[in-house]
Amino acid sequence: MISWWKRSLARQLIGFILLALVVSQVLSFLISWDEQDKALKAAFKREFFTRTGSITRLMEVIPAELREDVLQASETSTSRFWLTTEPPADLVTWRRNATSQLVRPIRNAVALPPEWGLGSVPGQPEAARSVEAKINPSAGNSDWIRAGGTLWPLDQPARYTDLVTSHGGGSGMGMAVELKSGLWLNTAYFKSVGTPWWRSPSLYSFALSAIILSAIVIVATSRITRPMRQLAVAADALGRGENVQPIPETGPDDIRLTAVSFNRMQQRLHRYVEDRVRMLAAIGHDLRTPLTSLRLRAEFVSDPDVQQKMLDTIDEIQAMTEATIAFAKGEASTEETRTIDLCALVESLCDDLGDLGQKVEFTESKKAHYRCRPGALRRAIRNLIENAVRYGGGANVSIAEKATAFEILIKDGGPGIPKEMQDKVFSPFFRMEKSRNRQTGGIGLGMSIARAIVRHHGGEIELSSNNPGLTVCLRLPKADRATAEHRAETMVAHWTL
């Protein structure tokens, strides 16, 4: 899960932005919650005292026979009024009475159509059960609070209390006012908090903000990652020896400067290779004259043995020079890179060597599509197989497909190569065979050429002993973005060989 998140710049930016958004929303909610709650309670209390004061004045001036009708007409879905002849009893008993009054159906309730989606009708049984479940008669202050000050400027004595809920599901308050007639006006107010948190407007606003920010981040990161993907593809192609067109030098300064640096690196690499080929060609041309002069002078040596040794040495120098020049020119060639069936290429090479009388066996495997320079890769594999036949008495060739690479395994039954010598065999002109006979020992460039070609494709050659025998593993990474960096590194290592 973590690796999936780290692989994409857009995912990381979206994750960080959403995290910052959540943290900011939570902090803002925590900071404003207390003040908002206090402000709402103050507004509810002011409205409750004002409405109770208005009903108190009205009760003092209207006839006694109209009082009950006026109180019922004044009731709302959240408030109830009733008269008693006795002062309020203890607070717990009064709160229970207030709860029973709040769940009483009101006379002026209006039944709204269900399709309006405004909830249940006020005063209906389901609403009553909700109020009963929420109000806790024994919670809150244990005695009445005397009402006074600016909220209660009337002369009638009044007592005030809070209707505390059990789980914070609403806000309520009650009051008892002694009228001049000796009656007591009781009023209770309770408002439930009915909107669940998942239907909160703040949550909808957060979700909308998150979607908009995510879309903006995706667009912004695509503008950044598109040049980076182009750079990765170009580096991968350059590591395979392809002629890459200069990538566009556009975008933000950081991306543009990276593209400029890549194009300059590509030009420098090409100039380096061209200069090396020209230098080797010039050396080869300049050596022909002194070698010809030495050959002519060797003809005047009277001792036949000395003369032959001199001619052999001259021939060896000339062969090494021509092989080096041919190797450099071959690496500088612009062979087209294309997708082939790697299994078919290796199988055809083994068949050709078998037709020439060499002991080569190929273990057939499924198709393996690979993008490469077929001619150069065929040359590298041929060198390795011929070495196995020459020094190991035969070669067994197979192909294995791994998660990130194709492995070409070449096994022989010869004496093998000591572990301390396995790195040296890739050095130019190094030969395990100590004789000066080029027919048995070769020039000493076969393994160097093979490794250079394989590294040019972003791969590597590894040697391991079989006891007896030797296994040569030619590992070619699959073409994907994950191997672009590896190919760029092996490309630089190849050019500096």
Share of the chain above pLDDT 90, in %: 18
pLDDT tens across 417-432, in order? 888 888 888 877 776 6
pLDDT at 78: 85
Paired with 81 in beta bridges are 187
What mean pLDDT do residues 123-133 have?
51
pLDDT of 197 over the 90 cut = no
Confidence bin at 436 (pLDDT 50/70/90): very low
Mean pLDDT of the chain: 78
Confidence bin at 67 (pLDDT 50/70/90): very high
pLDDT at 63: 92
What mean pLDDT do residues 179-189 have?
92
Q: What are phi and psi of 68, to 5 degrees?
A: -65, -40
Write the DSSP string, 419-470.
GGGTTGGGSTT--SS-SS-HHHH--S-HHHHHHHHHHHTT-EEEEEE-SSSE
Least confident of 121-125, 343-347, 428-432: 121-125
Q: Of 111-115, 181-185, 220-224, which one has max mean pLDDT?
A: 181-185
Confidence bin at 125 (pLDDT 50/70/90): very low
Contacts for 243 with CB less than 8 Å, ≥ 6 apart:
334
pLDDT of 241 over the 60 cut = yes
pLDDT at 108: 65
Asked if the peptide bond before residue 468 counts as cis, ω within 30 degrees of 0, the response is: yes
Q: Supply the pTM of this predicted model.
A: 0.48
pLDDT at 289: 80
Q: Of 2-6, 39-43, 120-124, 319-323, which one has max mean pLDDT?
A: 39-43
Name the 3-class secondary structure at 175.
strand
Give the count of alpha carbons within 13 A of 17, CB side only: 19
Distance CA 239, CA 223 (A): 25
List, in order of start, the domains of the chain with CATH numbers.
2-108+120-194 (no CATH), 220-239+244-333 (1.10.287.130), 336-497 (3.30.565.10)
Q: Which residues of 289-322 are buried (b: 16+ CB within 10 A; e: fewer)?
A: eebeeeeeebeeeeeeeeeeebeeebeeebebbe
**Helices and strands per DSSP (H, E), number in the chain:** 13, 12
pLDDT of 190 over the 50 cut = yes
Distance CA 352, CA 345 (A): 11
pLDDT at 51: 92
pLDDT of 279 over the 70 cut = yes
Nearest to 300 by CA among 291, 310, 290: 310
